[in-house]
A and B are shown apart, each in its own frame.
Chain A
Amino acid sequence: MFGLPTATVAVIFGIPAIWVIYTLVFVYLSRGWKAEDVAEDQELISRNASGGNRPNGPATSANQDRRSGTENGGLA
């Protein structure tokens, strides 16, 4: 096929096919990850309601507003 030996065709089409299958299986198995987004949104709403609003939403790490000396990395 394509003027190539069979082994070459098998490798250059077979291995990419494996990666495509791997991707599809990963996407299928990780379908539950969307639940994490919903949970994060709910967490954000509850934080906002309790006055803990963050400047960049749920994605922002704690260091945005925990750099004070009293926090001391959560040791306080």
Chain B
Amino acid sequence: MNLETWFLVIYFVAMAGIGVWTLKIGNKDSEGYLLGGRSLGPAVTALRLQSSSMSGYMFLGAGSLAYTKGYFSLWYAMGDIGGGVLNLSILGRRMRKLSQILGSLTSIEYLEHRYPSPWIRAIAAPVAVFCIFFYVMSQFIAGGRGLEMVTGIPYAWALLIAVGVIVFYTFLGGYLAVAYTDFVQAIIMLIGMVWILIGTLQAVGGWTAGNNAVGEINPNLLTMWGPEGIGSVQWGVIIGAVLVFSIGYMGWPHVNVSHMAMKRPSVARTASMYATGFNLLFIPAPYIVGIMALIILPNLDNPELAVFQVADTVLPNFAVGIVMAGIMAAIMSTADALLLQSGTIASQDLFQRFIKKDMSDSQSVWVSRFTVLILAIIGYIVAVNDPPAVAEVVIFSTTVLGAAFVPVYVAAAWWKKANVPGAISSMVLGTVSSVVWQLTGLVDATGVDPMGIGIVCSTLALILVSLATQKSHPVPAHVVAALKETDKIGAIPAHMLTGQNDALAAQVPKDA
């Protein structure tokens, strides 16, 4: 076994160890398993939010994009850097407080509590599970390929190991295990990425020398307009690129659940500083490494492996092991969050809500675990037999998630007139428009990103339908009261705390 493999083995054992360590808390009840008992501080909240947002895409897709498009690719990074603070500042405190008042345990359940109708969950849960399943499958594939490259183990076995470790600690400790492993993984990702960047810049003689060398290949690669120059710029794609990774995060259920698990609503404030600091250090690095790979590895067959191959070329053996652990960390931290979220949606938002309403806490946790296991097995079978392209699946599933859910999550916390018909039409139109735009080839024909179209459609639908149906479907008084309480800075009065129950759509506060 080579040195790199040893580092990965140590890393895998450490992650599994965290799963065992959090087992006790994760088993306590649904809130313990699904939200870590709402006990997370700013550092864990911020780094968990960031690492679960940044998947294997950062090491595969970002490097590939930079290798082929040059500095144009940094448009994606420009949106991404602000994604964390935007999410925390707009949703953080309000979603934490509102979810506590309404007694919500999952980010989909929260939507049904805010927009009280079973249709909300009946629409949101399948859309979320569908997108998240494909997203998590892409992470399995990325993990398997990364492990295969480092260790030389055949892809099928590498995939099985990667999936096995992720499932093991998600299965044991639930949200707390995912949050703490994500926290550790974020630090490993940062160390790994900064190390590759430093090694790369040293190898090319510094950033300026590297840029000069890239300019000799094609001066347009140094511009923000792409390799074909400013004449070929598609502004719709640029705006979409910035949107996907800035406001797009606010529609991702597996990311938004971070707000609900915060120890206190005010955690969002400090967490925003951690998030921005982490993003500034981490996000531009894989893009710059990808650009410099043009000099170090000018004849790369597969640009997706640019960051892997550069690390292998410029770093000493022991450092490659740590860096590879960082790459696996990026993949696994997203995969575990997605897996837990899809298990949660299936157990809480579908099974318990529509099939077996009198499930105990313990049964609910076990259904969630069983779902995690089933999804992992299906994901493994698909990924090992007919693996699709990682970047395409990631961009497609995250675009649909963003288009479907950003307006309903933002309006849930901020707009008292946002009602059930508005939310339903927003989710449906956001999903349909982004999927149709993507699948019918309208992106190439119009130069407009599906995320942009999806967000515009879902936002307009929410506003127009909500306003048009205010009289026939007014926002319930207890929801308005909860929103007014959320506006205030102060403790939630005891009478406002609504208990969770099987008739979730009908719940009202005690004094209503």
When the two chains form their complex, are residues A4 and B222 in contact, meaning their CB atoms are under 8 A apart? yes
C-alpha gap A60/B30 in the complex (Å): 12
When the two chains form their complex, are residues A62 and B500 in contact, meaning their CB atoms are under 8 A apart? yes
Task: Give the contacts of A26-42 with B (CB-CB under 8 A).
Answer: 26-27, 30-37, 39-40, 42
> When each residue 79-97 of chain B gets 1 if its CB lies under 8 Å from chain A and 0 otherwise, what string results?
0011001100100010000
Task: Give the contacts of B1-50 with A (CB-CB under 8 A).
Answer: 29-31, 37-39
User: Known contacts A27-B272, A67-B499, A74-B510: does B489 contact A35 (CB below 8 Å)?
Assistant: yes
Task: Give the contacts of A2-57 with B (CB-CB under 8 A).
Answer: 2-5, 7-8, 11-12, 15-16, 18-20, 22-23, 26-27, 30-37, 39-40, 42-43, 47, 52, 56
B102 to chain A, nearest CB (A): 9
User: Known contacts A26-B272, A36-B489: does B31 contact A60 (CB below 8 Å)?
Assistant: yes
Task: List residues of chain A with CB within 8 A of the CB of B492.
Answer: 40, 43
When the two chains form their complex, are residues A62 and B74 in contact, meaning their CB atoms are under 8 A apart? no
When the two chains form their complex, are residues B264 and A32 in contact, meaning their CB atoms are under 8 A apart? no
- We find that the number of chain A residues with CB closer than 8 angstroms to chain B is 47
C-alpha gap A56/B266 in the complex (Å): 17
User: Known contacts A3-B222, A66-B103: does B507 contact A23 (CB below 8 Å)?
Assistant: no
CB of B105 closer than 8 Å to a CB of A: yes
Task: Give the contacts of B51-94 with A (CB-CB under 8 A).
Answer: 71, 74-75, 78, 81-82, 85-86, 89, 93
When the two chains form their complex, are residues B507 and A34 in contact, meaning their CB atoms are under 8 A apart? no
C-alpha gap A37/B190 in the complex (Å): 31
CB of B397 closer than 8 Å to a CB of A: no
When the two chains form their complex, are residues B499 and A16 in contact, meaning their CB atoms are under 8 A apart? no
When the two chains form their complex, are residues B273 and A23 in contact, meaning their CB atoms are under 8 A apart? yes
> Looking at the complex, which of B162-170, B207-215, B333-341, B433-441 is the stretch in contact with chain A?
B207-215
When the two chains form their complex, are residues B266 and A34 in contact, meaning their CB atoms are under 8 A apart? yes
When the two chains form their complex, are residues A66 and B500 in contact, meaning their CB atoms are under 8 A apart? yes
C-alpha gap A58/B86 in the complex (Å): 26
Query: Nearest chain-B residue to A12 (Cβ)?
Result: B74
Task: List residues of chain B with CB within 8 A of the CB of A32.
Answer: 489
C-alpha gap A1/B93 in the complex (Å): 40
CB of B224 closer than 8 Å to a CB of A: yes
When the two chains form their complex, are residues B209 and A3 in contact, meaning their CB atoms are under 8 A apart? yes
CB of B347 closer than 8 Å to a CB of A: no
When the two chains form their complex, are residues A23 and B31 in contact, meaning their CB atoms are under 8 A apart? no
B404 to chain A, nearest CB (A): 25
C-alpha gap A1/B89 in the complex (Å): 33
Specify which of B224, B262, B280, B512 is in contact with A11 (CB 8 Å cutoff). Answer: B224
Query: Nearest chain-B residue to A72 (Cβ)?
Result: B501
CB of B316 closer than 8 Å to a CB of A: no
> When each residue 56-76 of chain A gets 1 if its CB lies under 8 Å from chain B and 0 otherwise, what string results?
101111111011000111111
C-alpha gap A40/B222 in the complex (Å): 52
B180 to chain A, nearest CB (A): 17
Max chain A C-beta neighbours (<10 A), residue from B499, B501, B503: B499
Query: Nearest chain-A residue to B35 (Cβ)?
Result: A61
Task: List residues of chain B with CB within 8 A of the CB of A75.
Answer: 503, 506-508
Task: List residues of chain A with CB within 8 A of the CB of B30.
Answer: 63
B478 to chain A, nearest CB (A): 8
When the two chains form their complex, are residues B508 and A26 in contact, meaning their CB atoms are under 8 A apart? no
C-alpha gap A5/B225 in the complex (Å): 11
C-alpha gap A69/B173 in the complex (Å): 28
CB of B298 closer than 8 Å to a CB of A: no
Task: Give the contacts of B266-299 with A (CB-CB under 8 A).
Answer: 266, 268-269, 272-273, 276, 279-280, 284
CB of B509 closer than 8 Å to a CB of A: yes
> When each residue 376-418 of chain B gets 1 if its CB lies under 8 Å from chain A and 0 otherwise, what string results?
0000000000000000000000000000000000000000000
> When each residue 203-235 of chain B gets 1 if its CB lies under 8 Å from chain A and 0 otherwise, what string results?
000011111100100000011100000000000
C-alpha gap A62/B284 in the complex (Å): 42
C-alpha gap A37/B264 in the complex (Å): 7
Task: List residues of chain B with CB within 8 A of the CB of A67.
Answer: 361, 499-501
When the two chains form their complex, are residues A62 and B497 in contact, meaning their CB atoms are under 8 A apart? yes
Max chain B C-beta neighbours (<10 A), residue from A33, A59, A64: A59
Task: Give the contacts of B333-379 with A (CB-CB under 8 A).
Answer: 361
When the two chains form their complex, are residues B37 and A33 in contact, meaning their CB atoms are under 8 A apart? no
Specify which of B86, B93, B99, B493 is in contact with A61 (CB 8 Å cutoff). Answer: B99
When the two chains form their complex, are residues B208 and A62 in contact, meaning their CB atoms are under 8 A apart? no
User: Known contacts A40-B491, A60-B38: does B223 contact A5 (CB below 8 Å)?
Assistant: yes
Give 4 A-B pairs besides A16-B284, A75-B507 with Cβ atoms closer than 8 angstroms: A3-B207, A4-B222, A36-B491, A59-B262
17 example contacts (A-B, Cβ-Cβ < 8 A) are as follows A3-B208, A3-B222, A19-B279, A23-B273, A26-B85, A35-B490, A39-B489, A39-B490, A40-B264, A40-B491, A62-B103, A62-B498, A62-B499, A66-B497, A67-B499, A74-B507, A75-B508
Which 3 residue pairs are nearest across A and B when measured between Cβ atoms?
A66-B499, A73-B501, A3-B211
